Amino acid sequence: MEIERADGFVMSDDRTRLDLDRIVAWLGESYWAPTRSRETIERSIEHSVAYGVYDSEGVQVAFYRAVTDFATFGWICDVWVGPHVRGRGIGVWMIEEGVRALAAAGVPRLALATLDAHGVYLKAGFAPLAHPERWMDIDRRDVIP
């Protein structure tokens, strides 16, 4: 999949275009994965659908991945938009296009977690959990790198 915006930004699921050094650096700045190893990041991308957004010169400016079974459920994660292009609608556009691609692949339900980007995801069609009391998790991030 490759989609171009009128302003020249391109979103692609071509893994060969991903700038792993940049992605590792971005996730190192995140609140959710600051100590995640490069090996773990590479493995996570290998087992997910990964999307990059690139400027007109081919430099990666944004990233996200989706973990899915391509049948019932998908989890959107590791979303990052470079600081120099934030505020230009790239995050909303990237999520909307990714959601469209997953829907076209037959994935009817998506979820995500965010600390501070609720507005971005609301614009892309997400809503708070209808039944948060049904959700549970195991979080071992402090034990497993």
Domain with 28 in it: 2-125
144 in a domain, yes or no? no
Cβ atoms of residues 106 and 71 within 8 Å: yes
Here the CATH number for the domain that contains residue 108 is 3.40.630.30
145 in a domain, yes or no? no
Domain tally, the chain: 1
141 in a domain, yes or no? no
Cβ atoms of residues 68 and 75 within 8 Å: yes
Quick: pLDDT tens for 100-136.
Answer: 999 999 999 999 999 999 999 999 999 999 999 999 9
Q: What band does 139 get if pLDDT is binned at 50, 70 and 90?
A: confident
Tell me the pTM.
Answer: 0.91
Please name every residue paired with 66 in a beta bridge, in sequence order, or none if there are none.
Answer: 49, 76
Mean per-residue pLDDT of the chain = 94
- What is the mean pLDDT of the segment spanning 25-39? 95
138 in a domain, yes or no? no
134 in a domain, yes or no? no
